[in-house]
Amino acid sequence: MNHEELTQQIEKFAAIATRGCGQSDIVWGTLFHTNFDGWVEMMSVEDTEAAIAIAKQQGYYCEENDDELGSEYCCHGLTSDTCPCGCFEDPPELEQQQWDDYWEHQASLQTDADLHHI
Residues 72 and 107 in one domain: no
Q: What's the whole-model pTM score?
A: 0.53
pLDDT reported for residue 44: 92
Kindly state whether residues 9 and 32 are assigned to the same domain.
yes
| Count of structural domains within the chain | 2
Q: Residues in the chain with pLDDT < 70?
A: 63-71, 75-77, 85-86, 88-99, 110-118
Distances (CA, A) of 26 to 67, 72, 82: 22, 20, 13
The reply to whether 69 and 101 lie within a common domain is no
Structural domain boundaries, residue 113: 88-118
What per-residue confidence (pLDDT) applies to 105? Answer: 73
Positive/negative CA dihedral, 72, 78, 81, 87:
negative
In this predicted structure, what is the pLDDT of residue 50? 94
Q: What kind and span of H or E run contains 47?
A: helix 45-57
Residues 27 and 56 in one domain: yes
Residues 57, 107, single domain; the answer is no
Model pLDDT, residue 65? 46
- Note the pLDDT of residue 51: 93
Separation between Cα atoms, residue 118 and residue 114, nearest integer Å: 7
- Same domain as 70, residue 50: yes
